[in-house]
């Protein structure tokens, strides 16, 4: 089930944390809805994209622009504090050729700051925010 969120809660950390590696929370930012969708630990980004769009992998491969408004975000937590936020890169860009507009990437960057800043998890003072622009359309 797809759920949309506007702040990082302890419940999101508990339910969706430690995806692939300890301390990682993966999300999609939906630029059309201005909200975040957590990625379950047992799913890939593309599976959630398919569910949101009600499309198959083949349909997304044929028309990757269908998913251009869905921006991947990875939050890295160390010792219960946010140390890094990585925006704009996942398997949907590398494997399915999804590209994002600079406007949507910038919006995701700003929204991710609000998502963590208004959230329930402490942020390290030297937080690293990385906006990947490799996949701009």
Mean pLDDT, rounded, for 73-77: 96
Q: Residues, the chain, total?
A: 137
Kindly tell me if the per-residue pLDDT of 73 is higher than 80.
yes
Residue 132, pLDDT score: 79
Q: What percent of the chain has pLDDT over 70?
A: 99
Kindly tell me if the per-residue pLDDT of 29 is higher than 80.
yes
The band of 18, judged by pLDDT with boundaries at 50, 70 and 90, is confident
Mean pLDDT, rounded, for 79-101: 93
Mean pLDDT, rounded, for 35-47: 95
Phi, psi of 119 (to 5 degrees): -85, -170
DSSP symbols for 109-123: HHHHHHHHHTSSSEE
Kindly tell me if the per-residue pLDDT of 134 is higher than 90.
no
Mean pLDDT, rounded, for 111-119: 96
């Amino acid at each position: 089930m797809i759920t949309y969120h506007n702040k990082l809660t302890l419940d999101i950390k508990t339910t969706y944390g430690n995806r692939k590696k300890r301390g990682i929370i993966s999300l999609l930012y939906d630029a059309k809805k201005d909200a975040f969708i957590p990625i379950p630990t047992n799913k890939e980004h593309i599976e959630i994209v398919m569910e949101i769009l009600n499309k198959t992998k083949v349909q997304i491969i044929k028309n990757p622009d269908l998913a251009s408004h869905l921006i991947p975000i990875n939050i890295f937590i160390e010792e219960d504090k946010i140390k890094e936020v990585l925006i704009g890169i996942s398997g949907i860009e590398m494997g399915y050729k999804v590209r994002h507009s600079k406007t949507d990437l910038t919006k995701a960057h700003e929204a991710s700051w609000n998502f963590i800043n208004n959230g329930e998890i402490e942020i390290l003072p030297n937080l690293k925010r990385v906006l990947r622009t490799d996949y701009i359309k």
